Amino acid sequence: MNRFLLFGLLFCCSLYPLSRAAAQDTLSIDFSHPVNGVDTRTYTWSFTDRTGRLTAENLPQTPFYPDSTIFHPRKKALRSVNNVWLNLKIRNSGQVDSLVYLFTGWHDDISFYTTDAAGKPTLQMHTGLMVDRGDVERWNHYTFPLHVRAGETRTFYVHILNRFYRENEFLPVLYDPIHKAEFHHTQTDQYKGEVLVIQILIGMLLVLLSITVINYTQLPDRSSLYFAAYLLGLILFFTLRLETKPFQLSFFHFCPMFKFYWDIPALLFCFYFMYMLFGNMFLSLRERYPLMEKIYRYGAMVTGILILVCIAMIAMGNFQAPAMIYTWTYFITLIPFGISFIALARRTRHHPLIRFYLFGSISLYLLTIWAFLNNNEPVSFTPLPELVGPYNVLVLGVLLQALFFAAGLSYRNKLVHQEKTKTQEMLIKQLNKNKELQRKLNEQLEELVKEQTTEILRKKMELEEQRKLQLDVEYSKKLAEIELKAIRAQINPHFIFNCLNSIQLFVMQRDYEHAQKYLSDFSYLIRKTLDFSRRNFITLADEITYLNTYLGLEKMRFEQKMSYEILTDPSIATAELEVPAMLLQPYVENAVKHGMINEDHSSGLLVIRFNMLAGDMLECVIEDNGIGIERSRALRSLPGHHQSQGMEISLNRAELLNKMYNTGIQIEIIDKSKKQANDSGTVIRVLIPQL
């Protein structure tokens, strides 16, 4: 008898596990009673498809097993693609034909299947964060209706595919229609605060972007462009944050993959690529800190390459590698950025803009590190915002950085405006000084003419009284010398008049940089002109320097309409040869004036050559491609044209120099059109013997 009892007890014990497994295979629930968040993990069996080849036709033959480790109520970091199939059998133990809703979580790609009487799976819904385009209506796509008649048992399949580097909560629960609506409102209220913070941040970033664009239109600067690109990247990044919950209003619901493509690339673009480009230009690192400029420049180039690599990997379906790239980039750059911050902090006294850059950078880094250290999500230490719990702290860091950078740009624009105003004031003062110098020079020239005229009259009276041949010869020599000085007095005002006209043109055009350059060179010419007016002969080197400075001024005035060359025979000792002072300048001036207005040439060309001929004869050739001497004379004969006397004065000077010093200077003026009909321009050949 005892043996029979023992065998019966053992038989019952062996049947207990079988009855328990059979009971957990099917969820029995009365649909007529409230169903509010019933946990189905015990009854939901799963199959992980690691090859990705399982299809709906093979589901009835696929072995499903109970595995509760795949479920989790919070976010989870994924190191690889999670491809899992769920099998849920439900029996309606009630007396009413009704339905319940199954919710598994917000996943990237979800397919919901029902089975018919023969057990054949049929696709009822395909949704997910990566595929659904239904805007706010997507909320109804994530809760799957389970229709089970009274006393009936049905099998449902759910295919969940998560490819992103994080997986949202994965917990299969059931709701009746009423509690499903309550769950919807609860989820909506849960994220209203986060949505409000993001919307406020986007609004403030848009305001900063508008201010930056307005400032750029008033004062174009590359740092403003980089900051505007930085703001655009942030605006797009946080706008796509609204896309992460399907029941929220989305601006990019028509392209659900956009938020995944711009997630990691946006972090690299905003916080590394544009950050380093902006800092490089904003702090003028090339002029102030060349080594740091190279580091920032090459760092931006490497970041740009990483952005392209991440986009390519995402396009191939690999979302984990870009997350690892950003994680390693963040941790590797912490120390270099910290060193650069320390180096910049030691130079804040000499560069006030560094304070804005440092405050913005440090505020973001400190707040992000604090958020990562105090992360309330059950994931490891990570810099990825998707896995960080205190999201508002990150938003505050981004906003502080943008505000400090915007304030720094405004202060920089203020400094540039002050410097520009100061430069304009200096130019105006310099212009007034030059006007005063012009007035004094005119007075000196008038006094010089009066003194020379008085000297001439006195000498004439002495010659008339003496009436001797020896005194007559001396009178002629001195008279020629005084006339030569009078001719110089005529040349100087003529030259000064043309130069001042050029200066006035630049000032009227508000080209203060060229005006300042022109004033500096003009002052040099004035000093040399006064110096040369007291000397009859100067060295060829001084003459070439003088002409080069003069032609440089004229080229600035004509901008791109004039070019010139001064060619000197290498065998000539320019520091030893002497030429008459101010003899060549009127011819060069005439060539500039009439050689730059030829309609057949877009640019005037003036060539000056110095050659040494046999017998110690210096040859100077002044050649231009202008309208020619004949046509120039015809134009000057018309009413209203200025009659330049520079060439006539130079001829008179040459005659007087030949008379005084027996120099034998020869001047030949050739119209190129006479030698060749299709050619134009003037060639002036001056031969100066070396005594």
Does residue 609 sit in the same domain as residue 548?
yes
Does residue 269 sit in the same domain as residue 159?
no
Does residue 163 sit in the same domain as residue 197?
no
Q: Is 487 in a helix, a strand, or coil?
A: helix
Does residue 165 sit in the same domain as residue 202?
no
Does residue 317 sit in the same domain as residue 412?
yes
Does residue 203 sit in the same domain as residue 151?
no
Domain assignment of residue 482, yes or no: no
Question: What's at 517, amino acid-wise?
Answer: K
Question: What's at 360, amino acid-wise?
Answer: G
The answer to whether the beta carbons of residues 618 and 577 sit under 8 Å apart is: yes
The secondary structure of residue 10, as a DSSP letter, is H
Residue 644's domain comprises 493-689
Between the alpha carbon of residue 497 and those of residues 331, 438, 491, 593, 651, the distances in Å are: 68, 9, 10, 13, 21
The answer to whether the beta carbons of residues 613 and 664 sit under 8 Å apart is: no
Domain boundary among 175, 198, 215: 175
Does residue 602 sit in the same domain as residue 659?
yes
Does residue 361 sit in the same domain as residue 501?
no
Nearby residues of 603 by Cβ (< 8 Å), 6 or more positions away: 560, 561, 562, 563
- 267-283 core/surface letters (b: 16 or more CB in 10 A; e: else): bbbbbbbbbbbbbbbbb
| SS percent in the chain: helix, strand, coil, step 5 | 60, 15, 25
Q: What is the pLDDT of residue 637?
A: 58
Residue 284 exposure: Cα atoms within 13 Å on the Cβ side = 10
Q: Is 77 in a helix, a strand, or coil?
A: strand
Domain boundary among 152, 175, 198: 175
Q: What is the pLDDT of residue 100?
A: 92
What token pair was written down for 284?
């003028």
Domain assignment of residue 36, yes or no: yes
Q: What is the C-alpha to C-alpha distance for residues 300 and 271, in angstroms, rounded to an integer?
A: 10
Domain assignment of residue 202, yes or no: yes
Q: What is the pLDDT of residue 174?
A: 94
Q: What is the pLDDT of residue 532?
A: 78
Question: What's at 628, amino acid-wise?
Answer: G
Does residue 155 sit in the same domain as residue 196?
no
Does residue 206 sit in the same domain as residue 165?
no
Domain assignment of residue 254, yes or no: yes
Distance separating the N- and C-terminal Cα atoms of the chain: 156
Q: What is the C-alpha to C-alpha distance for residues 626 and 320, in angstroms, rounded to an integer?
A: 72
Place of tokens 């994680």: 327
Domain assignment of residue 67, yes or no: yes
Beta strands of 408-497 (E only): which ranges? Answer: none
Does residue 170 sit in the same domain as residue 197?
no
Identify which of 122, 142, 145 has the alpha carbon closest to the alpha carbon of residue 132: 142
| Burial class for 586, CB neighbours closer than 10 Å (0-12, 13-18, 19+) | buried
Please tell me the pTM assigned to this model.
0.60
- Number of domains the chain contains: 3
Domain assignment of residue 552, yes or no: yes
* Cα 440 from chain centre: 50
Q: What is the C-alpha to C-alpha distance for residues 497 and 501, in angstroms, rounded to an integer?
A: 6
Look up the CATH number of the domain holding residue 231: 1.20.1070
Domain assignment of residue 319, yes or no: yes
Q: What is the C-alpha to C-alpha distance for residues 359 and 361, in angstroms, rounded to an integer?
A: 6
Does residue 362 sit in the same domain as residue 281?
yes
Question: What's at 316, amino acid-wise?
Answer: M
The answer to whether the beta carbons of residues 671 and 618 sit under 8 Å apart is: no
Domain assignment of residue 312, yes or no: yes
Q: What is the pLDDT of residue 108?
A: 92
Look up the CATH number of the domain holding residue 657: 3.30.565.10
**Which regions in the chain score pLDDT beneath 70?**
1-24, 247-249, 467-495, 498, 559-560, 597-601, 635-646, 677, 691
Look up the CATH number of the domain holding residue 44: 2.60.40
Domain boundary among 385, 402, 424: 424
Q: What is the C-alpha to C-alpha distance for residues 360 and 398, in angstroms, rounded to an integer?
A: 9
Q: What is the pLDDT of residue 560?
A: 66
Identify which of 88, 42, 84, 45 has the alpha carbon closest to the alpha carbon of residue 63: 45
Identify which of 174, 72, 161, 157 has the alpha carbon closest to the alpha carbon of residue 120: 157
